[in-house]
Amino acid sequence: MKGIIYKDFFLGFRLTKNLLSWLAAVIMMSLIIIFMKGTFGFIVISGITLPLIGSSLLQVTVEQDELTEFDKIQLTYPMTKKEIILSKYIGGFIVEGICILINFLLCMLYVYGFKSIPFIDAMYILAAGSVCGLIFLAISYFGFVLLGNKKGLIIYMTMVILISGFYGFTSWNIDYISLVKNNALFIIGIGFLVSILSLIISYFASLKIYTRRYS
């Protein structure tokens, strides 16, 4: 199982095409940080961009596995289908965890560097963004397992555009920080439980589809 995880990270971060994609994402976020030092830019980065990026590893690996037919080759390895699917989700958790860590550092930049948001408000957005990231991971991973790379990518990008567009169109009328603070128990507390439940359902649903497809 470790071998599959290592392979996925190699495909995700060492192949030139994918490395350039990550570099483009870093440049995009850097521009947002440079030109949007206020609350709007902070929520774009902390509440939307980084949480959604955490789900991108599987898209890269599914694409390469389909091109090389590794999705079939790995079935000959001494590991179960359960371990194959579990390794994909573990890889996603690792990337999501890295994004949360980077997110925390960015929170410190906006709190103590730009002084554009209080510490407690930044932590609320970080927590809410992390919850959304886990739910998005559950949905997108199931989508890639069910639909494959091309159709799964369409669903993935559609969700990203809808989420980003919704925030962009509503941010002028809705104070999202106050919304999260005033409904912290529901958005963060219950949201965290929903994210865990979503991940469990996503994993077992993906396993069932994968097992049926290659049985």
Question: Averaged in consecutive runs of 10 residues, what is the pLDDT profile of the chain (215 residues)?
Answer: 84 82 88 89 90 83 83 84 92 92 94 93 93 93 89 88 89 88 87 95 95 86
pLDDT of 214? 84
d(CA 4, CA 9): 9
d(CA 9, CA 60): 9
pTM of the model: 0.89
The one-letter amino acid at 49: T
**Using one digit for the tens of pLDDT, what is the confidence trace for 124-145?**
999 999 999 999 999 999 999 8
Share of the chain above pLDDT 90, in %: 45
- Name the residue ranges covered by the structural domains of the chain: 2-213
